[in-house]
Each structure stands twice: as structure tokens, then as C-alpha cells.
Amino acid sequence: MDDYVGREYQAIEDFADLVATYSIMAEFRKRKEFDLAWCQATLERYYSVLR
């Protein structure tokens, strides 16, 4: 994910493990217990703030 460091994107860590950061970029790995419905509902809440 580009521009991760210094931004309010931490919600992604509920669904993916942070593997590494490279300057302001971040690499994630989807969690085994990934719940698509929960992820969609959570991200919809965050996206609605940006609209």
C-alpha cells in the first residue's frame, strides 16, 4: 500500500498483517481468519468519511 506511513489507514491491520514497510509504503499479508463481510462493512464506513 502506497502512502501508508503517516496516514490514517490502520483499519487494514484488522484484516491483514503488516509484513514490512519501505519508506512510506507497506506490505501486508491477508490473515487466515479473514472475514470478507466484516472487511467490506468496515471499509465502507471508512470510505464514507472520504466522500
Rounded Cα gap, residues 5 and 20, in angstroms: 11
In the predicted structure, residue 51 carries a pLDDT above the cut 60: no
Summarised one tens digit per residue, pLDDT across range 6-47 is 877 788 888 999 999 999 999 999 999 999 999 999 888 877
Q: Give the containing element (helix H, strand E) for 41.
A: helix 36-50
The three cell numbers of residue 28 are 501486508
Determine what percent of the chain is predicted with pLDDT higher than 70.
92
Global pTM reads: 0.69
Please give the pLDDT value at position 49: 62
The three cell numbers of residue 49 are 468519511
Exposure class string for 7-40: b at 16+ Cβ within 10 A, else e: eeeeebeebbeeeeeeeeebeeeeeeeeeeeebe
